[in-house]
Amino acid sequence: MKIKLGALLLLLLCILKTNGQSNYSLDMNTKLATADKMKINETAIGFELSHKIDSTNSFSNTVTYKKTVVTYELSKYNLMHDLNNFSSIENKLALNRVLSNKAIFNIHLKPILNFENKMRLSTIQWLGGTSVDYTINDKNNLSVGITRNVYFGNLRILPTMSYKAQLSKKTALEIGFPVSKLSYSYNYKNTFTVNNSFQGVIFNLDKPYSNYIGNSIASVTYSQMATTFEYIRNIDRYWSLYFQGGYNFNTNYYLSDDTGNRSYDFTSTNAYTLNIGIKLNINKQ
């Protein structure tokens, strides 16, 4: 644990050394997903720094550490290995450039380490993507791009698309892949959102091992489509609380060998999910 936290602090220090950054936020949350055969509890802390360089360029840098604990009927599956605790460290760098009064170019790179107990740089997953936002008019926006991420249980390169519409002063709609949402801001302090998103993660084990029937296991994959209802409460200009509850559809949790072939499939289907978090935002003028 000391090594993990030390690595996280080192990444944070590198970000803090960057000159001219004027905005930052700290996000802490815990999430619970309860499926038919297991429970997955995730605790995360993230730190973001962002800065508008000039009228055409801006960037943000986010470092996140996550701890995932899985509880399931281990004796039933005879895996001969705990497979209970996993960690993630990710660093997302995003750059944005205004191309014209209607178009913005976006690119982000997100190296991520998902591991059991021992971090190995050789297992870094290089995720990221690029997109172009086009403003149709003052109420409608279209974004198209491409991304590399874990979707449908595999690391894939897929096209992305979203259409955003400001339906009214208080209501906004976004339709697309991998995220769609409908938001309603009752006032400054209260916002309600219905979200639908595709999510996934691949954890690398410390070393491959064989289960009781002789299949090799080198990684654990967890993916789902999540539909949630979210309430955000802005306490003041700095602090906000958020609560999410919903359902994960097409939940998959399976073990793979070092070539990516499935060695063991838990064939989970759906899961209830609950997420509670607190966020600190500070904007330096």
Task: Give the pTM.
Answer: 0.86
User: What per-residue confidence (pLDDT) applies to 168?
Assistant: 94
User: Which of 275, 273, 272, 270 is CA-nearest to residue 244?
Assistant: 275
* DSSP designation for 152: T
User: What per-residue confidence (pLDDT) applies to 239?
Assistant: 94
Look up tokens 């190296």; give the residue. Answer: 111
User: What per-residue confidence (pLDDT) applies to 194?
Assistant: 97
Rounded (10°) CA dihedral 47, 59, 145, 175? 60
User: Would you state the structure tokens that stand for residue 125, as one six-digit string?
Assistant: 């997953």
The secondary structure element, H or E, covering residue 72 is strand 57-72
User: What per-residue confidence (pLDDT) applies to 76?
Assistant: 55
User: What per-residue confidence (pLDDT) applies to 261?
Assistant: 79
Are the beta carbons of 160 and 143 closer than 8 angstroms?
Answer: yes
Count CA atoms within 13 Å of residue 250 on its CB side. Answer: 13
Tell me whether the omega of the peptide bond preceding residue 178 falls within 30 degrees of 0, making it cis: yes
User: What per-residue confidence (pLDDT) applies to 125?
Assistant: 94
| Tens-binned pLDDT, residue by residue, of the chain (285 aa) | 555 555 554 555 454 444 545 788 999 999 998 877 788 899 999 999 999 888 899 999 999 999 999 887 655 555 546 678 999 999 999 999 999 999 999 999 999 999 988 888 888 999 999 999 999 999 999 999 999 999 988 889 999 999 999 999 999 999 999 999 999 999 989 999 999 999 999 998 888 776 555 567 888 888 889 999 999 999 998 999 999 999 988 888 888 887 777 877 776 667 889 999 999 988 765
Q: Where are the beta strands (DSSP E) in 138-238?
A: 140-151, 154-166, 171-177, 179-187, 190-210, 216-234
User: What per-residue confidence (pLDDT) applies to 78?
Assistant: 54
User: What per-residue confidence (pLDDT) applies to 11?
Assistant: 52
